[in-house]
Amino acid sequence: MRTMSSVELSDEVLARLRAEATRRGVTVETVVAELAAQLPADTDDPLAAFIGSGASGRGDLGRRHREIRAEQTSGTAARDF
């Protein structure tokens, strides 16, 4: 485990973290760790982090995002551009 000595947060964000920690009966560090665990995993595909982040108007995007991306890019991966 790596320890970070400090992180600068706005007063509002810190207050929200503290309130959530108090509500759950845990430390702020626990809340931050849980939030960090929800972040996208590292990937070699730079487009992967953006999948599903916008309103496409397509109802099937969540289920078919890989297939749709392959159709739109002729199967070319982002790293190939």
Q: What is the rounded radius of gyration, in angstroms, for the C-alpha atoms of the chain? A: 18
Confidence of residue 38 (pLDDT cuts 50, 70, 90): confident
Domain ranges within the chain, ordered by starting residue: 9-39, 48-80
Kindly report, residue by residue over 46-81, the tens digit of the pLDDT: 677 676 666 667 677 677 777 877 777 776 655 555
* Residue showing tokens 């730079």: 46
Q: Which amino acid is at 46?
A: P
Assessment of whether the complete model's pTM goes beyond 0.85: no
pLDDT for res 30: 92
- Given a contact cutoff of 8 angstroms between Cβ atoms, the answer to whether 17 and 9 are in contact is yes
